[in-house]
Amino acid sequence: GIGSNQAMDEVQPVELIQRAFAALALLSDYPLLVSSLWESTPLDCPPGSPRFINAVAAMRPRQLTPLQLLKSLQQIEADFGRFRGPERNAPRTLDLDILSFGEVLMQDAKLTLPHPRMQERAFVLKPLLEIAPHYSIPGMKCPADALARQIVGQGSLTLINFSKSL
């Protein structure tokens, strides 16, 4: 899962996400499959937070464990100017979340797989279903498309461009 709602050195969130796709492709053994970009209302963010640009990318990580991938993603976030301050869900230049890692079910102090709230987030499920229309979240009985239809009341979610593979 990829999100941005803050510019970095005048580079706007749309371009930051496109650049993040290129950084993620370097971690993948196969071409990256990417969703369209979606603009969404901030959810559980401080008042006045800017709207997010969101996307999802599918990859096959090069010989990485889930925790090694997490460390690599956090380094990419830092390279893109991500600052982790005390305020929860503050605006950020780049947010990279591991939504799932194959069929791995994991709960660790640093990482929970699958992502514990992905099934509640339209800004995750809509782009995910673009690139994996029959996806089922590991450990859940209900397919992702059925979960996406159940989500209501999260503000607006607008398609802003179409996907391509990298």
Residue 82's CB: how many other CB atoms inside 10 A? 18
Of the candidates 29, 82, 108, 117, the residue annotated as catalytic is 82
Of the candidates 60, 92, 108, 145, the residue annotated as catalytic is 92
Of the candidates 95, 117, 121, 149, the residue annotated as catalytic is 95
Active site residue 95: yes
Q: What angle do CA 14, 17, 20 make, to 5 degrees?
A: 155
Q: What is the Cα–Cα distance from 147 to 60, expressed in whole angstroms?
A: 24
Active site residue 145: no
The conformation of residue 11, written as its DSSP 8-state character, comes to B
Active site residue 29: no
> Cβ-count burial of 1 within 10 angstroms (0-12 exposed, 13-18 middle, 19+ buried)?
buried
Q: What is the Cα–Cα distance from 89 to 144, expressed in whole angstroms?
A: 24
Of the candidates 60, 79, 97, 145, the residue annotated as catalytic is 97
Query: Coil, strand, or helix at residue 30?
Result: coil
Active site residue 92: yes
> What residues are annotated to the active site?
82, 92, 95, 97
